[in-house]
């Protein structure tokens, strides 16, 4: 059986939840399946851990694009445990619509037996045996948390024509807008895919409540985490060296993920400011790790407004191999998200022995299952109270860390890949 996978997201340099899901799932499928053949479709040559599926951990500097090799048929040669993976680079001259354009043409003329998209968007033409992962529908549940911005060429006239064509194509229902694209692609995936994967029961419930789709069509398969990399580090010298590299001072509360409105970073900063104002003895910093997304400007404004320039540390992106040290150096992990389909960083925090305080919404209670102190992300005082407890109550931190160590063993990428492969075989 020939299985095609959209590997474009897995190949990105800066990965967040969906990209890590794609990355690790592909790598673990390569470890498991010695019977089927795989084609990884990508818009750029595969690099790093996507070019070599035999490596144990993520090495961003390993196998650069300049080292790319091709076979006689034009497929990129990549290493895999059973030599059954190859990549097809599908060049596309435009910035947008690679999936709907180039990948659609590929599936029209050279269809694999089964096609798997790890994130939302199916090409216009796809095999009947197609499988899609819909991680969440937060754009419906929390519309104000998503940025409505036009997609397509920068040229105003071309953009206007494209917008008109999309309106005609969708009978006036959608326009060339990023959020509309999420609506449209999710509807198409639910309608045309043979099976849908989602990453939590909470997310499945949201999908069923908002779309007309059979419950039997949706399979919940939990995410995993890199258990070879994310472990509690006790080497204080090494921890301090990594913290110095990124300008992080101890003690600190820690968050990693997109710096955006959806993750409620503005609400977290406001609560942290109130906490510091009420108790001058608290010396903890708030460390925010991640790239800037919608709402980043508001975060910067609030830091200045509350005079927190010396108390909130924004590191930007941190290399994956350094992350376990940053987790292990923190007092607690804080996750104030307004909506979450899963939250892989919760697993990483638990694996590194870090106590967690997090929102009591969507999938977070499901993932933590009691291994975290929960608060209402819409109630600033609730967040303040939780932060205070995590800083002051050592016994609580130790209890939550112990519970987390037990809970995290329920999740792994091998299990995720096995369940996904079984679903592929069932098509």
Q: In 282-419, where do the E strands start and end? A: 285-289, 312-316, 332-335, 356-359, 373-375
Domain assignment present for residue 150? The answer is yes
Query: For position 170, what pLDDT does the model report?
Result: 63
Domain assignment present for residue 58? The answer is yes
Domain that holds residue 70: 2-224+413-426
Same domain for 355 and 333? Answer: yes
Is 62 in contact with 49 (CB distance < 8 Å)? yes
What is the number of structural domains in the chain?
2
| Residue 172 confidence (pLDDT) above 90 | no
| Residue 120 confidence (pLDDT) above 80 | no
Strands of the sheet with 85-89, listed across from one edge: 76-77, 85-89, 37-42, 2-6, 114-117, 130-133, 195-198, 218-220
Q: What is the dihedral of CA 201, 205, 207, 210, to 10 degrees?
A: -170
User: Containing H/E element for 254?
Assistant: strand 252-256
Same domain for 244 and 256? Answer: yes
Same domain for 86 and 162? Answer: yes
Domain assignment present for residue 12? The answer is yes
pLDDT (average), residues 329-355 = 96
Least confident range of 9-13, 237-241, 324-328, 391-395: 9-13
| Residue 164 confidence (pLDDT) above 80 | no
Query: For position 179, what pLDDT does the model report?
Result: 72
Same domain for 337 and 353? Answer: yes
- DSSP per-residue codes, 361-384: STTHHHHHTTSSEEE-TT-HHHHH
Domain assignment present for residue 231? The answer is no
Same domain for 149 and 261? Answer: no
Same domain for 250 and 216? Answer: no
Q: How far apart are CA 288 and CA 353, in angstroms?
A: 19
pTM confidence score:
0.91
- DSSP for residue 259: B
pLDDT band at 159 (very low <50, low <70, confident <90, very high): low
Same domain for 110 and 15? Answer: yes
pLDDT band at 160 (very low <50, low <70, confident <90, very high): low
Same domain for 208 and 326? Answer: no
pLDDT band at 149 (very low <50, low <70, confident <90, very high): low
Same domain for 248 and 216? Answer: no
pLDDT band at 202 (very low <50, low <70, confident <90, very high): very high
pLDDT (average), residues 251-257 = 95
Domain assignment present for residue 60? The answer is yes
Mean pLDDT score across all residues of the chain? 89
Convert the pLDDT of each residue in 12-28 to its tens digit: 888 888 899 999 999 99
pLDDT (average), residues 208-235 = 94
| Residue 161 confidence (pLDDT) above 90 | no
Residue 205 sits in a domain whose CATH number is 3.40.50.2000
Domain assignment present for residue 230? The answer is no
- DSSP per-residue codes, 190-244: HHH-SEEEES-HHHHHHHHHHS---GGGEEE------TTT------HHHHHHHHH
Highest mean pLDDT among 57-66, 169-178, 320-329: 320-329
Q: Report percent pLDDT > 90 for the chain.
A: 67
* Residue with the two structure tokens 């910035």: 95
Query: For position 108, what pLDDT does the model report?
Result: 87
pLDDT band at 61 (very low <50, low <70, confident <90, very high): very low
Domain assignment present for residue 299? The answer is yes
More confident residue, 28 or 320: 28
Same domain for 166 and 243? Answer: no
Is 21 in contact with 133 (CB distance < 8 Å)? yes
Domain assignment present for residue 229? The answer is no
pLDDT (average), residues 310-329 = 93
Same domain for 137 and 283? Answer: no
Same domain for 257 and 199? Answer: no
């Amino acid at each position: 059986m020939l299985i095609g996978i959209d590997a474009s997201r897995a190949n990105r340099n800066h990965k967040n939840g969906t990209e890590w899901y794609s990355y690790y799932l592909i790598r673990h499928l390569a470890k498991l399946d010695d019977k089927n053949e795989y084609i990884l479709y990508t818009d750029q040559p595969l690099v790093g851990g996507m070019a070599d599926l035999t490596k144990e951990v993520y090495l961003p500097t390993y196998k650069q694009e300049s080292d790319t090799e091709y076979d006689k048929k034009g497929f990129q040669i990549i290493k895999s445990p059973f030599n059954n993976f190859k990549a097809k680079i599908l060049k596309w001259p435009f910035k947008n619509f690679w999936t709907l354009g180039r990948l659609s043409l590929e599936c029209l003329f050279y269809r694999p037996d089964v096609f798997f998209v790890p994130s939302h968007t199916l090409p216009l033409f796809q095999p009947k045996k197609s499988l899609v992962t819909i991680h969440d529908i937060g754009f419906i549940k929390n519309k104000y948390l998503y940025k409505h911005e036009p997609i397509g060429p920068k040229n105003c006239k071309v953009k206007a024509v494209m917008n008109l064509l999309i309106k005609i194509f969708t009978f006036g229902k959608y326009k060339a807008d990023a959020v509309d694209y999420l609506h449209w692609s999710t509807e198409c995936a639910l309608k045309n895919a043979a099976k849908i994967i989602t990453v939590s029961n909470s997310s499945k419930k949201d999908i069923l409540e908002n779309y007309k789709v059979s419950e039997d069509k949706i399979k919940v398969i939990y995410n995993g985490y890199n258990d070879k990399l994310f472990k509690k580090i006790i080497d204080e010298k090494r921890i301090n060296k990594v913290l110095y590299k990124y300008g992080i001072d101890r003690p600190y509360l820690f968050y990693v993920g997109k710096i955006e409105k959806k993750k409620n970073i503005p609400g977290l900063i406001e609560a942290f400011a109130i906490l510091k104002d009420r108790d001058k003895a608290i010396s903890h910093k708030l460390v925010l790790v991640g790239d800037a997304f919608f709402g980043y400007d508001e975060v910067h404004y609030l830091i200045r407004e509350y005079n927190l320039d010396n108390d909130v540390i924004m590191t930007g992106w941190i290399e994956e191999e350094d992350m376990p040290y940053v987790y292990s150096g923190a007092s607690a992990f804080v996750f104030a998200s307004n909506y979450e389909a899963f939250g892989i960083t919760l697993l990483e925090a638990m694996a590194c022995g870090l106590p967690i305080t997090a929102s009591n919404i969507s999938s977070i209670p499901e993932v933590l299952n009691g291994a975290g102190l929960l608060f209402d992300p819409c109630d600033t005082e609730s967040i303040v109270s939780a932060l205070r407890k995590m800083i002051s109550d050592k016994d609580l931190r130790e209890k939550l860390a112990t519970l987390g160590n037990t809970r995290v063993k329920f999740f792994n990428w091998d299990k995720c890949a096995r369940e996904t492969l079984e679903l592929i075989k069932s098509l």
